[in-house]
A and B are shown apart, each in its own frame.
Chain A
């Protein structure tokens, strides 16, 4: 069974605060993704990566940075958090592009006050 683990699961921060969301996958997948989930918008792609050291921009990248340090680890960084970034964040991994199944983590709920 594919495994994607996210931390923290819940986080509250203040406006302007610094937040790092972590994701680790043990599937030996090359592809990893960060999505945010918001009512009425569904799942929107923030950043993704093909492998260690690679970073690609998704559809809603403003205010977010990401880093892929190893094949297993993908981090999402919010350096100046804003209330608009309050959301449920999902990390996912995949063994390849088109046609491959995405395996999601449990989600990280972020509240920016």
Chain B
């Protein structure tokens, strides 16, 4: 079945350094939607960005990701981490063939940014 893999459970870094969170996926469908959701402590998870277009860079709030169907990847990047980026990040996959089943989430990556 479909799956999403996030290899890092925890990423710790210093403010100002670049960050990249890995996301790879498996699906039999050729046109999936890929998402990044962010969950700040004591808030509701919310959409950060999404894409279904191959090789097109998607940006929001300083983060960017590019869907690469050839490698089944949708890595999240930011050039300079801020303290406020500390949060739990989920990569997710939507497969139209699953109907209203909604998203398949990865296990999440916690980002901790220190001064």
- A residues touching B (Cβ–Cβ < 8 Å)? 4, 30-31, 33, 35, 40-45, 48, 50, 56, 58, 90, 92, 94, 96-107
Contacts and interface: CB of A to CB of B under 8 A. Distances in A.
A102 B106 contact: no
A45 B102 contact: yes
A98 B108 contact: no
A42 B90 contact: yes
A50 B105 CA distance: 19
Interface stretch (B12-20, B44-52, B58-66): B44-52
Contacts, number: 69
Interface string B63-88: 00000000000000000000000000
Interface residues of B, number: 25
Contacts of B99: 97
B6 to A, nearest CB: 8
Contact of A98 (B9, B96, B105, B107): B96
Given A40-B9, A42-B90, A97-B94, A102 B102 contact: yes
A31 B100 contact: yes
Given A4-B44, A90-B44, A43 B105 contact: yes
Given A4-B44, A90-B45, A97 B96 contact: yes
A98 B95 contact: yes
B108 A43 contact: yes
Contacts of A45: 101-102
B44 A107 contact: yes
A59 B33 CA distance: 20
The interface centre, meaning the residue of B50, B102, B105 with most chain A CB atoms within 10 A of its CB, is B102
B98 interface: yes
A17 to B, nearest CB: 26
